Amino acid sequence: MAENKDPFLKADAEAITLAKTLLRDASYAAIAVNEPETGFPLASRVLLATDSDGTPIILVSALASHTRAIERDQRVSLLTGEPGKGDPLAHARMTTRCIAGRVPRDSAAHQALRATFLARHPKARLYIDFPDFSLFRLTPVSADLNGGFGRAYRIDGQSLVDQA
Amino acid sequence: MAENKDPFLKADAEAITLAKTLLRDASYAAIAVNEPETGFPLASRVLLATDSDGTPIILVSALASHTRAIERDQRVSLLTGEPGKGDPLAHARMTTRCIAGRVPRDSAAHQALRATFLARHPKARLYIDFPDFSLFRLTPVSADLNGGFGRAYRIDGQSLVDQA
């Protein structure tokens, strides 16, 4: 056991580049949310796009368990970095802690994010305007990047998005 | 909004068969845990095997964030059902709420589960006996099966494992 040992390497430029790529290149992700009724953490799948600064965007239905959870607790995380062939743990992946914020449908931001989301996911045009669907921006707080066995990095949220 | 509407269909035999398959065929999964220090739900990737009755088994390192979380809060969930080509949301997937229990290394159960895990993941032989690695059984409590748009089922945990 090594409970008090810091298992993270210092995040260098290469690690931050990999982290930004893992967030920007993902077209879907596992999202973890706190389920209010049970206290269980729920992992489910969401489609992902990114705002121009790299902030993740999701489109979710009010009928989905994750959406009802997010409405009550804005703390979520995303797992990105899909395994290819071979050992799934040999592929880089990242857990990004985020604070979720709904994008109001009547806001100027919504128009732009709607277009961004549809550019990545054209089929979402079939349901993006349904009244029970909402876009959420997920502002990164911090991320745990796993670049493979023994290569773990903690990265702050500001390093994951492009500064204005 | 339809917050009070039960979005789940009644789980029939076909849904339960699909649910059991999604749990048994997965060689890896996204696991969601409650991070004790931050209150964030964390999604990360774990290798998966199943006990003879279908109970999921994971092998995790004490250095990993998810393991430190599980030691404090045994409530976890697994996302299984990987997307193939095309729309990721068109593929069936399932969130299974589980209670995690460590398998003591000196128990008879450990010998059998170690063999089961290695049969699925031969490369884990390189580290399964390291002192910081542990096997956990994840006893299913309930599952949310999503068989595609509009086909959502809630399944009780007992239906997911074979009864003795």
The H helix count followed by the E strand count for chain B is 3, 7
User: What three-state secondary structure class fits B115?
Assistant: helix
d(CA B49, CA B87): 27
| pLDDT for the residue A151 | 86
d(CA B160, CA B50): 11
**So what CATH class is A13-157?**
mainly beta
A5 with B88: Cβ contact below 8 A: no
Cα of B96 vs its chain's centroid, Å: 6
> Residue A141: enclosing H or E segment and its boundaries?
strand A133-146
Alpha helices in B29-160 (DSSP H): 65-72, 108-120
Residue ranges for chain A with pLDDT beneath 50:
1-4
ipTM score of the complex? 0.93
Q: Which residues, 6 or more positions from A82, have their beta carbon under 8 angstroms from its beta carbon?
A: A26, A91, A93
pTM: 0.94
| pLDDT for the residue A1 | 41
d(CA B108, CA B106): 7
User: What three-state secondary structure class fits A78?
Assistant: strand
- Whether chain A has a CB inside 8 Å of the CB on B7: the answer is yes
Q: Give me the phi and psi of A97, to 5 degrees please.
A: -75, 130
- A 83-112 residues with CB below 8 A of B? 83, 87-89, 93, 95, 97
d(CA A131, CA B2): 10
* Probe site for chain B from A6, A42, A153 (most B CB atoms < 10 A): A42
Of B79, B75, B48, B37, which Cα lies nearest the Cα of A78? B79
DSSP string, A39-67: --EEEEEEEEEE-TTS-EEEEEETTSHHH
A45 with B88: Cβ contact below 8 A: yes
Of A3, A78, A66, A94, which Cα lies nearest the Cα of B37? A3
* Probe site for chain A from B6, B33, B45 (most A CB atoms < 10 A): B45
* CA quadruple B6, A46, A140, A142: dihedral sign: positive
**Residue A60: strand pairing partners:** A134
Q: Which two tokens stand for residue B20?
A: 């059991």
Cα of B41 vs its chain's centroid, Å: 15
| pLDDT for the residue A89 | 85
- Report, at the CATH architecture level, how domain B13-82+92-153 is classified: Roll (2.30)
| pLDDT for the residue A110 | 97
| pLDDT for the residue A81 | 95
Residue ranges for chain B with pLDDT beneath 70:
1-5
The CA-atom distances, in angstroms, between B72 and each of A56, A138, A144, B35 are 29, 27, 19, 9
Q: Is A17:A50 a contact under the CB 8 Å cutoff?
A: no
Alpha helices in chain A (DSSP H): 13-24, 65-72, 108-120
- Whether chain A has a CB inside 8 Å of the CB on B25: the answer is no
DSSP state of B9: B
